[in-house]
A and B are shown apart, each in its own frame.
Chain A
Amino acid sequence: DTAVSQTPKYLVTQMGNDKSIKCEQNLGHDTMYWYKQDSKKFLKIMFSYNNKELIINETVPNRFSPKSPDKAHLNLHINSLELGDSAVYFCASGTDMSNTEAFFGQGTRLTVV
């Protein structure tokens, strides 16, 4: 019973390609996030969605486009991949308002070559 699942776990692709990472949560949470972890292990928020609506967009290039078909899913689509996009991307979900829970997916290690 994986609470937050994201696929794929590993993604290797060439520069210029378009790729998607999928995320699903079965916790009934209203809020979902995408975080990027860089090579120095620093975790930085990219987007948050609350009930399918975009709440936070933290100065992310518009090549990154999140899509939330319903509140249990938040997918990340990346166009025209660049070498600097190589990182680990984490999906997370949390409770609304009280924010007492926040669980992460297993991460997707993206390598752009």
Chain B
Amino acid sequence: AQKITQTQPGMFVQEKEAVTLDCTYDTSDQSYGLFWYKQPSSGEMIFLIYQGSYDEQNATEGRYSLNFQKARKSANLVISASQLGDSAMYFCAMIDTGANSKLTFGKGITLSVRP
């Protein structure tokens, strides 16, 4: 069974600084994908970034990058130059490849950006 662990309590970061949100995972699958989503107070789930288990390079999308360490089974999200609008809940999720796949989510991390 797949498991995603997000154990950080609420995180705080000063505007314009970088922040790392931790995510570890457990799976017996060789092929899988890792996602990060942002959920602001308005409630929608916004896709941020994706990393495939066979991707050799860490994924990047604008200010978001994923620090993928396969041997450690970690997929931390790094947000550079934090903005006030980054204040939200962040979810790490994983999916195995195949037709019977599903996204398994961590419990989320709340990030607050201070002006």
Q: Which A positions have Cβ atoms within 8 angstroms of B? A: 31, 33, 35, 40-45, 48, 50, 55-56, 58, 88, 90, 92, 94, 96-104, 106-107, 109
Dominant secondary structure of chain A at its interface with chain B:
strand
The CA of A11 and the CA of B105, in the complex, are separated in Å by 25
Contact A33 B103 (CB under 8 A): yes
The CA of A99 and the CA of B54, in the complex, are separated in Å by 13
4 further A-B pairs in the complex, CB-CB below 8 A; given A33-B103, A40-B107: A31-B101, A41-B107, A48-B101, A100-B33
The CA of A56 and the CA of B100, in the complex, are separated in Å by 7
Q: Whose C-beta in chain B lies nearest to the C-beta of A50?
A: B99
> B64 contacts the other chain (Cβ, under 8 Å)?
no
Given contacts A33-B102, A102-B47, contact A41 B96 (CB under 8 A): no
Distance to closest chain B CB from A31 (angstroms): 8
Contact B100 A104 (CB under 8 A): no
Distance to closest chain A CB from B36 (angstroms): 11
Quick one: which of B47, B100, B103, B108 has the most chain A CB within 10 A? B103
Q: Which B positions have Cβ atoms within 8 angstroms of A? A: 33, 35, 37, 39, 43-47, 50, 52, 89, 91, 93, 95-105, 107-108
- List, in ascending order, chain A residues with CB within 8 A of B101's CB: 31, 48, 94, 99
Residue of A42, A102, A103, A104 touching B95 (CB-CB under 8 A): A102
Q: Whose C-beta in chain B lies nearest to the C-beta of A53?
A: B99
Q: Whose C-beta in chain A lies nearest to the C-beta of B55?
A: A100
Top 9 closest pairs, chain A to chain B, by CB: A104-B45, A43-B105, A45-B102, A99-B95, A106-B44, A107-B43, A99-B101, A99-B97, A41-B108
Contact A98 B47 (CB under 8 A): no
- List, in ascending order, chain B residues with CB within 8 A of A90's CB: 45
- List, in ascending order, chain B residues with CB within 8 A of A109's CB: 43
The CA of A24 and the CA of B98, in the complex, are separated in Å by 22
The CA of A42 and the CA of B104, in the complex, are separated in Å by 10
